[in-house]
A and B are shown apart, each in its own frame.
Chain A
Amino acid sequence: MAFIEAEGVAKKFDDFWALKEVNFSANKGDFLTLLGPSGCGKSTLLNLIAGFLLPTSGSIKVDGNDISHLTPENRDSAMCFQSYALFPHLSVLENIAFGPKQKKVPNKEVVKRLNSLMQQVGLTEHKDKLPNQLSGGQQQRVALARALAVQPSLVLFDEPLSNLDAKLRDQVRIEIRALQKELGFTAIYVTHDQSEALAMSDKVLLLNNGVIEQEGTPEEVYFSPQTEFVANFIGAANVHRVKINSIKNSVISAMLGTELVEFDSANHKALKVGQEISICWRPEVARLWTEKSLLNNDNRYNKIIAKFVSSAFQGAYTDVFIKIKGQEKIFRLQLPRCSGLKTDQEISFSLPKDSILIIEKV
């Protein structure tokens, strides 16, 4: 049985539906990420799980018990807030001890938990400092330790890393994941950062306009996006409409501008010749095609001719923007070590046939 289950959860603010009939579940010890753009309903869903909001309809069950209408103080969960929400008048130690004291944990046990957590999050030497004497990363660690001090079965994270700089964000997210694995709590993590979601999660729930667009493992949502929104939101993607020319042995041929592309039709049995479909491919699967290329005689690749528009150096790769004859849209390629291309220069690139995906819903 799933540890946390949401059934038909909806939330309405005045005339606005922030969440519409959301259903999901997660197992004990899972790291579940609620991912989506601003206003998609992910924080609303987290606040419903925490108890700061009550659902308009539906129910949330934790360990088989309906908690939908319990007040936050009576739920077995703790939240790490985006703004850390540390008590400014209390020291690091007093902040962390706040929860256990409220829950009437015996003093001996409180001391034991404090010592262990202070060591785990590396704050022992800062125990007497006030929150405003700590750096952002240290404050985040205090917030995490404070949440863990009540030993909740469910830890909720509301964009906890969004106030940290990029380098510290990477470091703290590794620490959070390591702690979660070590202590084994179930985590629900809200973020709009797709790289955070992919790196940390066991399961990702991608929300848009109050509904779940797609759920699955990070690999599933990245490699098999079901909608244009998912394809574009998670990583970069080239999404476009094509008309099917032919279907032979489950290989579809379609025209991409003046270029013929072939791709696999697996799992899409009902497709017909002449039908318009949406396809998607990731910019990083493309490679420059040269005369010496080993790919020349490999029929697993499409060869596409395009015109170079512009490029942007990104360090590990270069974003190359191209135009394909007969297509208005500009496509994006991510090519390693690519420089010296000139505007309107003709280039050829390869596109693996198995990396072109058919998007079911657009």
Chain B
Amino acid sequence: MKKPWWVILLLITPGLGFVLFLIGAVLTMAVAQSFGFYNFAGESQFSLEHWQQMINGDDSRRFWRAFRYSAYIASYSAILSVIIAYPIALWLRKPFKGSITLSAILKAPLLVHGLVAAFLMINVISYHGFINEFMIWTGLWDKPVRMQNDKLGIGVIFLQVWKQMPFALLLLSGSVQNLSDSVLNAAQDLGAGIIARFRKVVLPLTLQSLQAALILIFIGAAGDFSFQKVAGPTAENSMATLMTYVQTDVGDWNGAAVIAIMLMVLALFGSLAVAIVAKYVSRLAKL
């Protein structure tokens, strides 16, 4: 017998309701705060002033710069992590002597906290770090080179890739290992060379995990705080560092809420972009 809709709703409420409540409460509060509610420094009332101020007003230059910078760091980190992880996942698809050890070593950064990794990285790239000391010792460099807090945020991207690549590898390994040998053999048997096999079989069949890896890394890197604080360019703010600055140093909770919402918008746009590209790629595979 088909159950009435309200019975189904009651049945799923304990699980889904709890999750929706947690997400909804945070989201509602952030949205409300961005529109002037929960104002800890003034009157709480509906206002578009904080949005106007951040998007189009005095703070807009700083805000959009941070927005672009976070989008840049997130895009490069996600793409590079996947570009490195994909061939490794394919290489490790079939077990060989030492492949399990290699796979474990590659996933080791997952066990190291991001902040610890950032400080270790500073030891390597700082003005008197291992690289500079080594290069001067070899005589290849006359004086130390500035690598820490570089202008382009390469140190941050390096750290993101170091930290996120194993995560991408974990996601991709699962789907790559699920590829059946006979399906790949069938493609080859029907005349597909190595590139055609990758484009028409491997890529479409691993696209979902590729998409998941890109989105999750993008979202994580877009909201990065610790790597930016430790190794990021001093003249740049990420969305997360800007949000903290606006909230703690300026005391503008509502402005910080606007940045938080825009950070979520950035994550959403990133995810949508990846989804559109994925759809295009899966169509290409059918041609």
Chain A interface (Cβ < 8 Å from any Cβ of B): 50-52, 71-73, 77-79, 81-83, 85-90, 94, 98-99, 102-103, 146-147, 150
A85 near B282 with CB under 8 A, answer no
Q: Known contacts A73-B188, A85-B185, A85-B186; decide if A94 and B286 are in contact (CB<8 Å).
A: yes
B188 near A83 with CB under 8 A, answer no
B282 near A150 with CB under 8 A, answer no
Residues of A within 8 A of B286 (CB): 90, 94
Alpha-carbon distance between A53 and B176 when the two chains are bound, in angstroms: 22
Interface segment among B72-80, B83-91, B196-204: the answer is B196-204
A72 near B189 with CB under 8 A, answer yes
Alpha-carbon distance between A88 and B188 when the two chains are bound, in angstroms: 16
* Closest CB pairs A-B (n = 4): A102-B191, A99-B190, A85-B182, A85-B186
Residues in B191-233 with C-beta less than 8 Å from chain A: 191-193, 196, 200-201, 204-205
B186 near A103 with CB under 8 A, answer no
Q: Known contacts A73-B189, A103-B191; decide if A82 and B182 are in contact (CB<8 Å).
A: yes
Residues of A within 8 A of B200 (CB): 87, 98
CB within 8 A of A79: which of B189, B282, B285? B189
A89 near B190 with CB under 8 A, answer no
Alpha-carbon distance between A106 and B285 when the two chains are bound, in angstroms: 19
A83 near B182 with CB under 8 A, answer yes
Residues in B164-198 with C-beta less than 8 Å from chain A: 180, 182-183, 185-193, 196
Q: Can you list 19 A-B contacts (CB < 8 A)?
A: A73-B190, A73-B191, A77-B189, A78-B190, A79-B186, A79-B189, A81-B186, A83-B180, A83-B182, A85-B182, A94-B286, A98-B187, A99-B190, A99-B191, A102-B190, A102-B196, A103-B190, A150-B190, A150-B191
Alpha-carbon distance between A147 and B182 when the two chains are bound, in angstroms: 14
Chain B residue at minimal CB-CB distance from A143: B186
Chain A residue at minimal CB-CB distance from B192: A102
Residues of A within 8 A of B187 (CB): 87, 98, 102
Alpha-carbon distance between A72 and B201 when the two chains are bound, in angstroms: 16
Query: A186 → chain B, closest Cβ, in Å?
Result: 16
Residues of A within 8 A of B193 (CB): 73
A89 near B185 with CB under 8 A, answer no
Chain A residue at minimal CB-CB distance from B182: A85
Alpha-carbon distance between A329 and B205 when the two chains are bound, in angstroms: 56
Residues of B within 8 A of A51 (CB): 189
Residues of A within 8 A of B204 (CB): 89
Alpha-carbon distance between A78 and B282 when the two chains are bound, in angstroms: 26
Query: B239 → chain A, closest Cβ, in Å?
Result: 36
Query: B158 → chain A, closest Cβ, in Å?
Result: 35
Q: Known contacts A88-B205, A98-B200; decide if A81 and B191 are in contact (CB<8 Å).
A: no
Chain B interface (Cβ < 8 Å from any Cβ of A): 180, 182-183, 185-193, 196, 200-201, 204-205, 282, 285-286
Alpha-carbon distance between A146 and B191 when the two chains are bound, in angstroms: 12
Alpha-carbon distance between A99 and B180 when the two chains are bound, in angstroms: 18
Chain A residue at minimal CB-CB distance from B191: A102
A146 near B190 with CB under 8 A, answer yes
A87 near B183 with CB under 8 A, answer yes
Known A50-B185, A85-B182, A102-B196; further 13 A-B contacts with Cβ < 8 A: A50-B189, A73-B189, A78-B189, A81-B185, A87-B187, A87-B201, A89-B204, A98-B187, A102-B191, A102-B192, A103-B190, A146-B186, A150-B191
Residues of B within 8 A of A50 (CB): 185, 189
Query: B180 → chain A, closest Cβ, in Å?
Result: 7
CB within 8 A of A52: which of B185, B190, B282, B285? B185
Chain B residue at minimal CB-CB distance from A83: B182
Alpha-carbon distance between A90 and B183 when the two chains are bound, in angstroms: 12
Residues of B within 8 A of A77 (CB): 189
Residues of B within 8 A of A103 (CB): 190-191
Residues of B within 8 A of A88 (CB): 183, 205
CB within 8 A of A85: which of B180, B192, B196, B285? B180
Max chain B Cβ within 10 angstroms of own Cβ: one of A73, A81, A99: A73
Residues of B within 8 A of A78 (CB): 189-190
Alpha-carbon distance between A85 and B183 when the two chains are bound, in angstroms: 5
Residues of A within 8 A of B282 (CB): 89
Residues of A within 8 A of B201 (CB): 87
Residues of A within 8 A of B285 (CB): 89
Query: B190 → chain A, closest Cβ, in Å?
Result: 4
Query: B126 → chain A, closest Cβ, in Å?
Result: 48
Residues of B within 8 A of A146 (CB): 186, 190
Query: A326 → chain B, closest Cβ, in Å?
Result: 53
Residues of B within 8 A of A81 (CB): 182, 185-186
Alpha-carbon distance between A51 and B200 when the two chains are bound, in angstroms: 21
Residues of B within 8 A of A90 (CB): 286
Residues of A within 8 A of B191 (CB): 73, 99, 102-103, 150
CB within 8 A of B192: which of A52, A73, A83? A73
Chain A residue at minimal CB-CB distance from B285: A89
Residues of A within 8 A of B180 (CB): 83, 85
Chain B residue at minimal CB-CB distance from A82: B182
Alpha-carbon distance between A3 and B191 when the two chains are bound, in angstroms: 22
B188 near A72 with CB under 8 A, answer yes
A89 near B182 with CB under 8 A, answer no
Residues of A within 8 A of B196 (CB): 102
Alpha-carbon distance between A51 and B189 when the two chains are bound, in angstroms: 8
Residues of B within 8 A of A147 (CB): 190
Alpha-carbon distance between A103 and B282 when the two chains are bound, in angstroms: 21
Chain A residue at minimal CB-CB distance from B188: A72
Max chain A Cβ within 10 angstroms of own Cβ: one of B182, B186, B193, B204: B186
Alpha-carbon distance between A261 and B201 when the two chains are bound, in angstroms: 64
Alpha-carbon distance between A147 and B191 when the two chains are bound, in angstroms: 11
Residues of B within 8 A of A87 (CB): 183, 186-187, 200-201
Residues of B within 8 A of A98 (CB): 187, 190, 192, 200
Query: A157 → chain B, closest Cβ, in Å?
Result: 12
Query: A43 → chain B, closest Cβ, in Å?
Result: 11
